[in-house]
Structure 1
């Protein structure tokens, strides 16, 4: 196990966040020790906005045995989802194509039921192992209350491993599906962002609503609504937490959208 003081802006895709004690755990025993005090779980930091003041709790990141995977067995929650999508396609295993382009770790993708209009993480799950209350327990997906960008894990629960529900398909068929998903996701910004900022209202697109209101390019300090996609807020270089939140509030004054990000403040 490694414990160090870091700036969380270096561990989030938006590039915003202050200091914290980062506990990188590599074994179940490490995890039990790290959770003996108040904690937060950090995945790939791709759906996360962190205060410039940082956080007081321990920040736990899964490494070691939690990053190993077997596509036909158990996959560690610390494994990178883009790698799994790629490896599954190469192995002729279908079920993850709809998750192409999501820069998450598996555990974070499960917690928020990450996905696109082509599929969600819950669709690809057969079983989920969760650490909570000092023990490891395996759940069926239907026990975890998955919904649109949400789940109902046990309180304080940490996803540690999953078994995937994948099917053998011709590799050419899988590649065609990946190309379809990739084409549909073209136009997403290349600048630093935390992914889609807001949840889509039922039957509508948050990005389209923001675009129709003429809010693309709206800027507060170093934070700006992307010119390429209305549901992305990008960091132009040195955006601060309050600038990002002020921009979020400006958008919500115009249209009542629910924030999709997790906020640590």
Structure 2
């Protein structure tokens, strides 16, 4: 493991916002145990995350290449036993690899810019599918010990899980279904076509969870808030549920924009992102209405 150092976190997030923290990139079990001896947070792919401009006081742990098993992803994933993959394995790479092998189950996750560990922790997904569809079991480091938890024990729900807060997901076991390249790629094309309205600018993914029986994007569009801007942050003109970084956006800009949307909406909106390093007022944005 390279010596931990204080770095800006903005370049490690998909929104491109966030202050500094002490970063630990770990490559082994021993390094991970050492890193978790002090208060910490775990950073995956940096999506669905808003980090305060002042950064965070805790050390930030990022699983390194030793926990990236995208190349090990093969036909065994379709067996009854499934396949174990490291928590740092990029989800986009898994989706592509599954398509090449004719394995079905991950198509609904197309376009989700997450690591496998982060995707499991928040049960990442789209309206076409989520991690719970293929997850069988996980391995986590908790208080210095490795433990295994079944998918049923994780309490997976809509963009949430009941994983213990101080657990680090090191591996996950997936079970996919044998299919064909033609069928899987055709399904990916369908999902891609339905998601083309999403912005290409820097964003953290959908800002708000969909209210029961409705779409947050539709609600924000109906309020006429597309294009609303605070500093360098703007509600995407392409999709009302995306906040994009026009360049130089601060976390303060983003929070102010989220607050304006919630103030205008007659329907309670719950933020989908995690917020790091904020005070009680900002953290309330992530609370269930």
Question: Does 2:154 align with 1:153?
Answer: no
Name stretches of at least 5 consecutive residues in structure 1 with no aligned partner: none
Q: Indicate the SS of the match to 1:75.
A: strand
- The separation in 1 between residues aligned to 2:35 and 2:15, in whole angstroms, is 26
Q: Indicate the SS of the match to 1:60.
A: strand
Equivalent position of 1:257 in the other structure = 269
Aligned-pair distance for 1:130?
1.2
- The separation in 2 between residues aligned to 1:231 and 1:136, in whole angstroms, is 38
* Structure 2 residue corresponding to 1:107, chosen from 110, 113, 117: 117
User: Which deviations, in whole Å up to 9, do the C-alpha atoms of 1:25-47 show, x marking residues without a partner?
Assistant: 00011100000000000001011
Is contact 2:33-2:144 (8 Å) kept? Answer: yes
Is contact 1:132-1:155 (8 Å) kept? Answer: no
Equivalent position of 2:153 in the other structure = 143
Aligned-pair distance for 1:50?
0.5
Is contact 1:46-1:103 (8 Å) kept? Answer: yes
User: Which deviations, in whole Å up to 9, do the C-alpha atoms of 1:78-111 show, x marking residues without a partner?
Assistant: 0100000000110111110000000000011000
Equivalent position of 2:46 in the other structure = 45
Task: Say how many residue pairs are matched.
Answer: 265
User: Which deviations, in whole Å up to 9, do the C-alpha atoms of 1:202-229 show, x marking residues without a partner?
Assistant: 1100000000000001111111000000
- The separation in 2 between residues aligned to 1:77 and 1:178, in whole angstroms, is 23
* Structure 1 residue corresponding to 2:212, chosen from 202, 217, 229: 202
Name stretches of at least 5 consecutive residues in structure 2 with no aligned partner: 78-82, 278-289
Equivalent position of 1:30 in the other structure = 31
User: Which deviations, in whole Å up to 9, do the C-alpha atoms of 1:98-139 show, x marking residues without a partner?
Assistant: 000000000110000000011001111111111112111111
In the superposition, the TM-score normalised over structure 1's length comes to: 0.98
Q: How does 1:168-183 map to 2 (within 5 A)?
A: 168-183=178-193
Q: Indicate the SS of the match to 2:205.
A: strand
Equivalent position of 2:11 in the other structure = 10
- The separation in 2 between residues aligned to 1:42 and 1:154, in whole angstroms, is 15
Q: How does 1:36-115 map to 2 (within 5 A)?
A: 36-69=37-70, 70-71=72-73, 72=77, 73-115=83-125
Is contact 1:27-1:64 (8 Å) kept? Answer: no
Question: Does 2:189 align with 1:191?
Answer: no
Aligned-pair distance for 1:154?
2.1
Aligned-pair distance for 1:68?
2.1
In the superposition, the TM-score normalised over structure 2's length comes to: 0.90
